[in-house]
Structure 1
Amino acid sequence: MSKLPTSNELLTWIRENPRDASKRDVARAFNIKGADRIELKRMLKELTEKGLITKERKHLRDPNQLPPVSVLRVLGPDANGDLFAEPAQWEGEGEPPRVHLSLRPGEPALGEGDRILARTAVSAEDPALYSARLIRRIGTGPRKLVGIFRAGAEGGRIVPIDKKSDREWQVAPGETHGARDGELVEAEQSGPKNRLGLPRAAITERLGNPGAPKAVSLIAIYEHGLPDAFPDEVLEEAAAAQPVPLGKRTDLRHLPLITIDPADARDHDDAICAIPTPTGFTLWVAIADVAAYVTPGSALNREARIRGNSTYFPDRVVPMLPEALSADLCSLHEGEDRPCIAVEMHITKDGTKTGHTFHRALMRCPAALAYEEAQAAVDGTPNARTQPFLEDVLTPLFAAYRALAAARERRQPLNLDLPERQIVLSDDGHVTSVNFKERLDAHKLVEEFMVLANVAAAETLEQKQRPVMYRVHEEPSPEKLDALRETAQASGLSFAKGQVLKTKHLNALLDAAAGLEEAELINLSVLRSMTQAYYAPENFGHFGLHLQRYAHFTSPIRRYADLLVHRALITAHGWGDDGLSEHDIENLAATGELISQAERRSMIAERDTTDRYLAAYLADRTGSEFAGRVSGIAKFGLFVKLSETGADGLVPLSTLGNEYWHYDRDSQTLMGSDSGLTIALGTPALVRLKEADGLTGGLIFEMLELDGKSLPTGSTRSRGKPQKRKLARSRAKSRKISRKAGRK
């Protein structure tokens, strides 16, 4: 007769061997045979009844421990940006364990509420913590939405404010969260469709009156999950911050480092000055030393990393840092001593940089100017603020800019000409006007100084072999270039194929379109062909700027990437113990992905807010006629961009006469089956505004004229292929064969 193990020995073995814990495995491990198996079975049943072990598919395990393969529910990132999850089902005592998720490159991004299958193991550092590797995602988290609640006899419905959504959501009586009819609410999906075919949702938060002043940006904040409220510990750290003394810093308070910003700017990241030399200029760019206040491991740092960047709306800013820092201690205010990291750069008279040096310093800004003020001064109309700085500060600055502009011309970065819209609001939050911002030399001056400083930062960190958070912009894909080529050819312009693409080739196309009716279309098409820029510790160059290396250094108040570059410079120069931490270095790739996602989230939120403001502005002009151009083609219709405001609206395909329209995705055209009329990107259009929804930002147009002509009515809705297109393709093929034969 074999010796039976004790209950404690059984429990210990099952915990240590979760993968091999069937009854047969237990018997084999303790060499239990014959009639003793009956006693073993009784002991295991007793342990199961006591809740000390549980049985899953003939395997035994400790219910207070996770099995090696578990179904987990993603909780989302913590304050450090690390991703955590919890078991989807937990039968153990106390709270379910936290599981740290480590995602490999190429694995899908996971969101809060997603269900995953993962391999789990107890953390070597903390027995109460598990680590996990993703096997596969088996379900996404509950969908969240923002909309208008409409009360009904049995709960109510939510009308989404997302213009891409064409269906309402049903809310059960017990899931209204006390919302009133007409209120703006946040909700999440609560189950499958009901008997009426509508998806079900539960209201999680009441956001108030959707028509309230400045509610437009509030909608974007909730819709895109922007963190707009700082935790108490973050506010406490910011409030406790004190001014930084000179100490061992370089004293630059004698330099005329002025700031040039928008007139309504509240924070000032950068200050500049230029000093003429016999061979050119010495340029100084001083950037707020945010790293002195936002240190590794602090609550301020954790929150800044999660936010990634500040988000700007027409009526408010969702800042990366609390106002005590962003608008005060870190901001380079006029007449105040401020810590900075400054780069001293030497350029020749033709704008070539010959050397640079970084300093951790203390500065004092003698003047905080607006772009318009600085420009007016050098154009001959200085005011009382700019007159004292005209000769010794502004004149050398603009002279240095002309040198940098000459270097830029030689470098040939991408030279897009896309005017920026400016939405002007009244005090009560209503749109009073929509303007296009004037592009001044003062804007370009500051940009060129910042680009040069960013390049210097990347060069220094590479030379000192320190980690760099690069700003990466890869070249366009062949597919996008083919689409651009189609658009250029349709506009009567040429864009050669088969060459090694450089920005100068795109600039040649833009220059050829300048002054033509198709100029805006070509600029938009070139922009759409570009890849999305992102942050990464690997350098793949910056295609748009035509630079081999580039790092964001100049805006640490509003971008976390810049703060990391500052820390790297601090470490590289041995300026203090507030440089890059081990955690920063180990998680540089993950941080790059996190802040790149945050940047895209902010861009979408800002764009949606602009669309809503424009729709609200045009709502009173329903029925009016507007001139514009076709800006987009889709199966369901075409988009027209208005010349007056830059607003985009949809012309549904069903309203374009009586004929059938054939959609060509490659050439981005619509062709009438009867008339053969081709609608392409950039075609001039006259439209009538039929609908304008300020809540969704949606505009619906009726097409009146295309290229100065009325639309053909068409006699049928035939789906026959248009003969003109066949003929055109045949001719194009013949020309291609002829050219090929000629080359041979």
Structure 2
Amino acid sequence: AIPPDKTGSAEPGQIVIAGILEQPTRHSQPVGEITRILGDDTQPGIETDIAINAHGLPHAWPKKLRAQVADIPSRVAAADKHGRIDLREVPLVTIDGADARDFDDAVYCERSESGWRLLVAIADVSHYVAKGTPLDAEARNRGTSVYFPTRVIPMLPEALSNGLCSLKPKVDRLCMVCEMRVSAQGKVAAARFYAALMRSAARLTYTEVAKILVEKETEIRTKYNELLPHLENLHDTFRALAKARARRGAIDFDMPDVRMEFDSNGRVAAIHEYRRNDAHRLIEECMIAANVQAAKFLREHKLPTLFRVHDQPDADRVDNLRLFLGTLGLKLARRETLEPKDFSAVLKQAAGRPDEALIETVTLRSMAQAVYQPKNIGHFGLALPAYAHFTSPIRRYPDLLVHRGICHALNGGSARNFAYGHKDMERLGQECSMKERRADEATREALDWLKCEFMQDKVGEAFDSIITGVTDFGLFVALKGMQIEGLVHVTSLGADYYRHDAASHRLIGERGGREYRLTDSLRVRVLRVGMEDRKIDFEPVEEAGGKRRSEGSRSGGLSKNAVSRQPGR
């Protein structure tokens, strides 16, 4: 309870932060006071403020750090350019999203006798963010940049993240380079790391590169005519690396992401799905190749570091997944130790099905969560013996630690005189993994708020959906093309009594025999949108004759041995 004299200037409908004055007892509620007003629940950006405060995300820069940032120059100092390989004449390019500001990585590729020479240049953040400084302390405190739909909480101040470290075009920048010799079969035959000086030749977007390489649009190819040979080489290298990835059996989840468009008032105007194009995949493969070499380099030099590890999936989860797939007529191999290629085979079976996205989602949820730790156990999903994060030091603290290890080795250092020991890395791995999860949860909650806000004025409207979960109390559905989820409560299914068949993921009407099954398409109407609990309720749409449209989408039979699994987000 908040006493009247402890509400300050807060008004009904506002989102506030309260502090506890008296703890609850067996006979009384807790007593609190309002300490801060975030704003009205309709205020643009309020979802981000709520998420930041709910998850304790650091977002204000400490005073000591601001003093250090004030001394950061706007240009690379002449003294910092010495002792580096000069790549300013090499036409490295950045390829990012249209709204990106922090450019971590640049790429260049040329043909060689046996394949290609691939350069992956990464911003040399460790040169500017030294261990023990206020910049380092706050970067560690944040752990990662957090990307909300309308705002970014950067790991590093903008003077670095969007300024001196960002690989902007036509300006000198310090970088760490992973130079690789890639064979025609997509194997990295040799690699080396070195400190360099670069000048990006162009800032390209994924859309532009796809138009250049895939759609072959004349106008944009003419605009970037001088870069075409290098971009074509990158595309060829990507295809070779992708084939090698497929031969390894790496699991390639290609689920659509959601994109929001905002109007001039900061309100969500549209929500739609989009998928990666070849430009996204090209950069992804180049970054994976460099990350693999970073892990290999640090292992060879026996330096403590953080590996990005992904364990084998839990046996119980695999059993549940196998039963789920069985209800859809799909098969997961039965062997004592499953390999990544077994899960890749499932995704191939699902390709092109109406329920493909749901199958990918449930398969992904059966996987272990990737984490950071100094003990290397390999990366199951990528089918790699060792993997580390090297390519995003502007926005991920583990990458900065990897850079420090590589620089230490390049300067002749060893494990004995390295600033970090194994126990340090254990602690840092736990911290970074936790902060990554915290960021994911915060952004997911902000997205859920915005989705509910978008649907508020659509009560009564009908949409096509797919059933993503079946329980005894109703159906979970996702609106097609928008990834907006909600519940069709069993009470809205009509006067019939519905029996939940967990084995076949069905609700079955006892009298009328009407069935609702997992992955069925269902036309639904928005019944209620709750901003407080961020939940949406739907009801089935009655068609002519009082029937409800529910269309099966499977290509196989139903297994009586399957267990119910609600794929929660």
Q: Name the TM-score, length of structure 1 as normaliser.
A: 0.69
> Residue 249 of structure 1 contacts residue 360 of structure 1 at CA under 8 Å; is this kept in 2?
yes
Secondary structure (helix, strand or coil) at the match of 2:10 reads coil
The answer to whether 1:217 aligns with 2:54 is no
Cα 1:249–1:678, aligned 2, differ >3 Å: closer, same or farther?
same
Secondary structure (helix, strand or coil) at the match of 2:478 reads strand
Per the TM alignment, residue 436 of structure 1 is displaced from its structure 2 partner at its CA by: 1.7
One-letter amino acid of the structure 1 residue matched with residue 121 of structure 2: A
Per the TM alignment, residue 655 of structure 1 is displaced from its structure 2 partner at its CA by: 2.8
**Alpha-carbon distance in 1 for matches of 2:429, 2:561:** 46
One-letter amino acid of the structure 1 residue matched with residue 3 of structure 2: A
Per the TM alignment, residue 392 of structure 1 is displaced from its structure 2 partner at its CA by: 2.9
Tell me what 2:552 maps to. none
Tell me what 2:24 maps to. 192
The answer to whether 1:285 aligns with 2:120 is yes
> What is the aligned counterpart of 1:365 among 200, 204, 216?
200
Per the TM alignment, residue 445 of structure 1 is displaced from its structure 2 partner at its CA by: 0.3
> Residue 15 of structure 2 contacts residue 40 of structure 2 at CA under 8 Å; is this kept in 1?
yes
Query: Where do residues 468-483 of structure 1 align in structure 2 (5 Å cutoff)?
Result: 468-483=305-320
Query: Where do residues 196-275 of structure 1 align in structure 2 (5 Å cutoff)?
Result: 200-242=31-73, 243-244=76-77, 245-275=80-110
**Alpha-carbon distance in 2 for matches of 1:385, 1:176:** 63
> Residue 312 of structure 2 contacts residue 367 of structure 2 at CA under 8 Å; is this kept in 1?
yes
> Residue 308 of structure 1 contacts residue 599 of structure 1 at CA under 8 Å; is this kept in 2?
yes
> Residue 487 of structure 1 contacts residue 681 of structure 1 at CA under 8 Å; is this kept in 2?
no
> Residue 7 of structure 2 contacts residue 34 of structure 2 at CA under 8 Å; is this kept in 1?
yes
**Alpha-carbon distance in 2 for matches of 1:460, 1:386:** 39
Cα 1:184–1:352, aligned 2, differ >3 Å: closer, same or farther?
same
> Residue 176 of structure 1 contacts residue 202 of structure 1 at CA under 8 Å; is this kept in 2?
yes
**Alpha-carbon distance in 1 for matches of 2:37, 2:485:** 30
**Alpha-carbon distance in 1 for matches of 2:500, 2:289:** 45
Cα 1:564–1:669, aligned 2, differ >3 Å: closer, same or farther?
farther
> Residue 374 of structure 2 contacts residue 422 of structure 2 at CA under 8 Å; is this kept in 1?
no
Query: Where do residues 325-344 of structure 1 align in structure 2 (5 Å cutoff)?
Result: 325-344=160-179
**Alpha-carbon distance in 2 for matches of 1:636, 1:201:** 36
Tell me what 1:406 maps to. 243
Tell me what 1:641 maps to. 478
Gaps (5+ residues) in structure 1? 1-169, 713-727, 734-744
The answer to whether 1:424 aligns with 2:271 is no
User: Residues 146-186 of structure 1: CA distance to partner in whole angstroms, max 9, x if unpaired?
Assistant: xxxxxxxxxxxxxxxxxxxxxxxx32234324422222101
Cα 1:555–1:711, aligned 2, differ >3 Å: closer, same or farther?
same
User: Residues 449-468 of structure 1: CA distance to partner in whole angstroms, max 9, x if unpaired?
Assistant: 00000000000000111112
Secondary structure (helix, strand or coil) at the match of 1:343 reads strand
> Residue 114 of structure 2 contacts residue 183 of structure 2 at CA under 8 Å; is this kept in 1?
yes
Per the TM alignment, residue 260 of structure 1 is displaced from its structure 2 partner at its CA by: 0.4
User: Residues 540-598 of structure 1: CA distance to partner in whole angstroms, max 9, x if unpaired?
Assistant: 11111111110000000000000000001011111799x99635654211111111111
Per the TM alignment, residue 399 of structure 1 is displaced from its structure 2 partner at its CA by: 1.6
**Alpha-carbon distance in 1 for matches of 2:520, 2:146:** 34
> Residue 91 of structure 2 contacts residue 227 of structure 2 at CA under 8 Å; is this kept in 1?
no
Secondary structure (helix, strand or coil) at the match of 2:316 reads helix
**Alpha-carbon distance in 2 for matches of 1:219, 1:590:** 29
> Residue 320 of structure 1 contacts residue 558 of structure 1 at CA under 8 Å; is this kept in 2?
yes
**Alpha-carbon distance in 2 for matches of 1:265, 1:193:** 50
Secondary structure (helix, strand or coil) at the match of 2:260 reads strand
The answer to whether 1:491 aligns with 2:331 is no
Per the TM alignment, residue 235 of structure 1 is displaced from its structure 2 partner at its CA by: 2.0
Secondary structure (helix, strand or coil) at the match of 1:582 reads coil
User: Residues 354-386 of structure 1: CA distance to partner in whole angstroms, max 9, x if unpaired?
Assistant: 010000111111111111112212232242884
Secondary structure (helix, strand or coil) at the match of 1:422 reads strand
One-letter amino acid of the structure 2 residue matched with residue 411 of structure 1: R
One-letter amino acid of the structure 1 residue matched with residue 7 of structure 2: T
The answer to whether 1:455 aligns with 2:286 is no
User: Residues 619-663 of structure 1: CA distance to partner in whole angstroms, max 9, x if unpaired?
Assistant: 221101111111123454331000031100112233333455555
User: Residues 415-464 of structure 1: CA distance to partner in whole angstroms, max 9, x if unpaired?
Assistant: 22310111111232111211222421111000000000000000000011
Secondary structure (helix, strand or coil) at the match of 2:173 reads strand
The answer to whether 1:316 aligns with 2:132 is no
**Alpha-carbon distance in 2 for matches of 1:403, 1:517:** 30
Alignment RMSD: 2.7
Tell me what 2:401 maps to. 564
The answer to whether 1:507 aligns with 2:339 is no
Tell me what 2:141 maps to. 306
Aligned length: 545
User: Residues 123-154 of structure 1: CA distance to partner in whole angstroms, max 9, x if unpaired?
Assistant: xxxxxxxxxxxxxxxxxxxxxxxxxxxxxxxx
> Residue 612 of structure 1 contacts residue 696 of structure 1 at CA under 8 Å; is this kept in 2?
no
> Residue 554 of structure 1 contacts residue 562 of structure 1 at CA under 8 Å; is this kept in 2?
yes
**Alpha-carbon distance in 1 for matches of 2:546, 2:322:** 27
> Residue 186 of structure 1 contacts residue 205 of structure 1 at CA under 8 Å; is this kept in 2?
yes
**Alpha-carbon distance in 1 for matches of 2:370, 2:502:** 25
Secondary structure (helix, strand or coil) at the match of 1:645 reads coil
> Residue 285 of structure 1 contacts residue 342 of structure 1 at CA under 8 Å; is this kept in 2?
yes
Q: What's the % identity of the aligned pairs?
A: 38
One-letter amino acid of the structure 2 residue matched with residue 380 of structure 1: K
**Alpha-carbon distance in 2 for matches of 1:585, 1:236:** 32
One-letter amino acid of the structure 1 residue matched with residue 23 of structure 2: G
Query: Where do residues 22-37 of structure 1 align in structure 2 (5 Å cutoff)?
Result: none
> Residue 268 of structure 1 contacts residue 332 of structure 1 at CA under 8 Å; is this kept in 2?
yes
One-letter amino acid of the structure 1 residue matched with residue 122 of structure 2: I
Tell me what 1:354 maps to. 189
Tell me what 2:453 maps to. 616
Q: Name the TM-score, length of structure 2 as normaliser.
A: 0.89
Query: Where do residues 511-526 of structure 1 align in structure 2 (5 Å cutoff)?
Result: 511-526=348-363
One-letter amino acid of the structure 1 residue matched with residue 480 of structure 2: S
**Alpha-carbon distance in 1 for matches of 2:19, 2:507:** 38
Cα 1:705–1:459, aligned 2, differ >3 Å: closer, same or farther?
farther
Cα 1:204–1:251, aligned 2, differ >3 Å: closer, same or farther?
same
> Residue 567 of structure 1 contacts residue 580 of structure 1 at CA under 8 Å; is this kept in 2?
no
**Alpha-carbon distance in 2 for matches of 1:659, 1:358:** 68
Secondary structure (helix, strand or coil) at the match of 1:383 reads helix
Per the TM alignment, residue 201 of structure 1 is displaced from its structure 2 partner at its CA by: 4.0
One-letter amino acid of the structure 1 residue matched with residue 488 of structure 2: V
**Alpha-carbon distance in 1 for matches of 2:17, 2:326:** 47
The answer to whether 1:394 aligns with 2:231 is yes
> Residue 340 of structure 1 contacts residue 361 of structure 1 at CA under 8 Å; is this kept in 2?
yes
**Alpha-carbon distance in 2 for matches of 1:201, 1:527:** 42
Cα 1:403–1:334, aligned 2, differ >3 Å: closer, same or farther?
same
Larger radius of gyration: 1
- With 387-396 and 530-539 compared, the bigger mean Cα shift is at 387-396
- With 511-520 and 376-385 compared, the bigger mean Cα shift is at 376-385
Cα 1:474–1:663, aligned 2, differ >3 Å: closer, same or farther?
farther
Cα 1:732–1:431, aligned 2, differ >3 Å: closer, same or farther?
closer
**Alpha-carbon distance in 1 for matches of 2:313, 2:100:** 34
The answer to whether 1:377 aligns with 2:212 is yes
User: Residues 181-209 of structure 1: CA distance to partner in whole angstroms, max 9, x if unpaired?
Assistant: 222101245432697x8655432321122
One-letter amino acid of the structure 1 residue matched with residue 16 of structure 2: V
**Alpha-carbon distance in 1 for matches of 2:475, 2:502:** 12
Gaps (5+ residues) in structure 2? 550-557, 563-569
